[in-house]
Amino acid sequence: MKKRMKILTKTEVDELFGPPILSLNDQRFFFTLNDAELAECKKLRDRKHRCMFILLLGSFKVKPVILNPGFHQAKKDLKFITEQILPGAGFRPFNLTQNACWRLYQRILKLANYQRWNAVLHTKVLIENLENAAHAWIEPRSLFDSAIEYLSKCKIGCDDISGEICHSSHLKC
């Protein structure tokens, strides 16, 4: 069994894979929909799903990471969305199922012209990129940052890729 190297602190992991914390101006900017986004949002029947679509899309605009935040993690942003973007009656706390979240992200990835991380398609090319980067940067954090930069450049949104890279490659993690 390979031992995993810790590159990021728990706080850094939470910051990277957690929902962004937005100011009021950030909320206005990232949750406002353009025509294509609004048209996609209107295709959703359930208002709760429309609000979550706006929340996840806005969060993805801030950082292209696939999230599934709990209601209480997103309460402040959902309140803004229900008051400013999709005015109407409030709703009870809820959490998206994994399938519902994925269906919303399929729409978001298509709108943003991104693809989801796929280990079969992306691991080999990412490993080659990291091996090239390793010639200049040997520190694990530098390689991690290089991986994130590469995925962003290639418009690949992901949840947690670190385990897949370590387990499917010959890199020492």
- pLDDT tens digit sequence for 51-65: 999 999 999 999 888
Condensed to tens digits (0 to 9), the pLDDT of residues 16-68 reads 888 899 999 999 999 999 999 999 999 999 999 999 999 999 999 998 888 88
**Hey, which bits of the chain come out as E strands?**
115-116, 156-157
| Overall average pLDDT of the 158-172 stretch | 45
pTM summary value: 0.78
Q: Is the pLDDT of residue 164 over 50?
A: no
Domain boundaries, the chain: 11-113, 117-167
* Bridge partner list, 158: 65
